[in-house]
A and B are shown apart, each in its own frame.
Chain A
Amino acid sequence: MMVHVEEQSLVVVDKGQIVDKATQMSKEGFRLVQISCLAKDSYEVTYSFDKNYACAHVRVVLPKDNPELPSITGAYFAAFTYENELQDLFGIKVSGLALDFKGKFYKLSVKTPFAPQPQQPAQ
């Protein structure tokens, strides 16, 4: 009988620091694993990085109103998919995106469905 739970670290950083943090991770040879978000009373955006099977999570907490985030596509170009997703599904404004789909990443029937209050008027 065993339980397999992987050791994972989590640090919370300020919104302003995330780009530096990402650049630093990139320099250290980490790979961007994913960016995810949880929207409840605030927005918790979690960046995950991996190096040699060790996973490091970095979290940024954004306020509920007018959430904005700087893009880390400068450090990790691959982040554009995740950040476009943040824009489309959560309504977080990501500034400085290298490849900005401008809300057309997905075609949705509900605007920003994962935001605390999904905006209904689609079409």
Chain B
Amino acid sequence: MSQMSIGKVVSRSFLSRPATRLYPFEKRPFYKATRGAVAIDIEKCILCGICQKRCPTAAITVTKATKDWQINRLRCISCGACVDACPKKCLWLENMYSPAVVQKGADDKFHQLDKPGLETTKA
């Protein structure tokens, strides 16, 4: 039986700098491997819809007719199933998470333009 066994750790902590990461004032870089939000290079996309089929949470909607690739950020579980499935490798997981929102808004929509090379719109 010893008294104050944690005393050493506590005193050391008291005298040295805290272990705290001062987020949001100091942001750490995320690891390369970190799974965050799904991103798409819409111009490479062939709108095959495999990602939609493979998505376990049905977060992705691909509309061939309007050439839209949509994702519901509040459904995506960043599992990477779509990334693995994508035949054109145009999907990837960013290492940044998607931000908090005050309102349940519309899906993030990526529209493929007829003329490649022009900008994509984001709703």
**Contact present between A and B (CB < 8 A):** no
